[in-house]
Amino acid sequence: MNTRRGFTLIELMVVMAIIATLLTIATPRYFAHLDRARETALRETLAVTRDAIDKFAADNDRYPATLDELVDKRYLRSLPTDPITESSDTWTLLPPPSSLQGETAETTSGVWDLRSGAVEEGKTYDQW
């Protein structure tokens, strides 16, 4: 008796079809989860950096000239990286509004706020 052991082509095709079906269900959820994680990281980065700007302004009676000054004076450990663009060069830095009442010229210049410069698939993150 000559019996061969192994899988037939049909059995392999059924297994491959099952794996492909599972991947088509799991893949979109995975990428949606990655997008939500990046957006959550962006919100946290903005909150921490804005808090550091506020603390710097309270301690020094002026806003930092650049984000590098926050790092140099140890209000931040390193330049924040935009999680959407994965770069620290895409931030949009905003000066203080001219409507600040009772402020001196020193406190109305510098970095008052920052926004993400990322644009992805119709989403703009510059209003966060």
Please determine, for residue 75, whether its predicted confidence score (pLDDT) is greater than 50. yes
- Residues 115 and 92: beta-carbon distance below 8 Å: yes
Q: Which of 79, 75, 68 is nearest to 111 (CA)?
A: 68
**Cα–Cα distance, 14 to 17 (Å, whole number):** 5
Per the DSSP assignment, residues forming a β-bridge with 113 are 94
The pLDDT tens digits for 5-48 are 888 999 999 999 999 999 999 998 998 899 899 999 999 999 99
- Residues 120 and 57: beta-carbon distance below 8 Å: no
Q: Tokens at residue 84, please? A: 């959407």
What residue ranges do the domains of the chain occupy?
Answer: 9-124
> Nearest-5° angle of CA 25, CA 27, CA 28?
85
pTM of the model: 0.74
